[in-house]
Chain A
Amino acid sequence: AQSVTQLDSQVPVFEEAPVELRCNYSSSVSVYLFWYVQYPNQGLQLLLKYLSGSTLVKGINGFEAEFNKSQTSFHLRKPSVHISDTAEYFCAVTYTGTASKLTFGTGTRLQVTL
């Protein structure tokens, strides 16, 4: 069965510090990976996605993620966070032949403080 694991339910970090949010997925021949952000009382906004090509993907708001096929991981990173990055972050995957159904992890709450 397809699954996504976000081991960290909460990540507290000080402003201007670096952060990494971890994501692992169940292996498949062909996979597409996404990171979405959800601000309070809002829908999900796409940060970045990996379809193919370079394993380092750059997204909006200074975020980037690295696809690692051998470790089935797609960790999200930002070198310096801002208070406004406080939100819920979801990793998601789609597999070929699944009607572009997104399978989401349970989310990581990033809490940025001064």
Chain B
Amino acid sequence: ETGVTQSPTHLIKTRGQQVTLRCSSQSGHNTVSWYQQALGQGPQFIFQYYREEENGRGNFPPRFSGLQFPNYSSELNVNALELDDSALYLCASSLELGTGETQYFGPGTRLLVL
């Protein structure tokens, strides 16, 4: 069983640009969640997808958007990048949608916005 993978591992962008981060969930996992982890902080929930539909969103502006595909891959898109978007972005997959489901995290993508 393969774990959760993310690409790229590191990324440098400039303010105002757009970025797409990718995640490959564990096979069979229908739920994917994205988190933003600023330096020295705990992860903050961005949004969650279940069977390709958004199923909950945290306090992030609409320029953060996502997609989930039938092949257990997903994307996080961020438009109009701001300096404060610099962070580690983590995706996590789980088998189903239950509140107590274990979420399995990928290694993250570290984004630096200059």
Classify the interface of chain B: helix, strand, loop or mixed. loop
Which chain B positions have C-beta within 8 A of A99? 48, 55-56, 97
A73 at the interface (CB under 8 A from B): no
B interface residues, how many (CB within 8 angstroms):
29
- State whether A106 and B41 are in contact (beta carbons under 8 Å apart), knowing that A43-B107, A100-B101 are contacts in the complex: yes
A44 → chain B, closest Cβ, in Å? 4
Neighbouring B residues of A103 by C-beta, 8 Å: 45
Closest residue on chain B to residue A43 by CB atoms = B105
A100-B41 in contact (CB<8A):
no
Is the pair B99, A100 in contact by a Cβ cutoff of 8 Å?
A: yes
Instruction: Determine the distance from Cα of A57 to Cα of B62 in the docked complex, in whole angstroms.
Output: 39
A101-B42 CB under 8 A given contacts A44-B90, A45-B105, A95-B99: no
- In the assembled complex, the Cα of A9 lies from the Cα of B15 at a distance in Å of 31
Shortest Cβ distance from A99 into chain B, in angstroms? 3
Choose one: A36, A45, A49, A106; the contact of B100 (CB below 8 Å): A49
A46 at the interface (CB under 8 A from B): yes
Check if A104 is an interface residue, CB within 8 A of chain B: yes
How many chain A residues touch B (CB < 8 A): the figure is 27
**A-B contact list, 17 entries, CB within 8 Å:** A43-B105, A44-B43, A49-B102, A99-B48, A99-B55, A99-B97, A100-B94, A100-B97, A100-B99, A100-B100, A101-B45, A101-B48, A103-B45, A104-B42, A104-B44, A107-B40, A107-B41
Given pairs A42-B107, A95-B99, A102-B33, 14 additional interface contacts (CB within 8 A): A4-B42, A32-B100, A41-B107, A44-B43, A44-B90, A46-B102, A46-B103, A96-B99, A98-B56, A99-B55, A100-B94, A100-B97, A106-B40, A107-B40
Chain A residues at the B interface, C-beta cutoff of 8 Å: 4, 32, 36, 41-46, 49, 51, 90, 92, 94-107
Ranked 8 nearest A-B pairs via Cβ: A99-B56, A104-B42, A43-B105, A44-B105, A51-B100, A101-B45, A43-B107, A32-B100
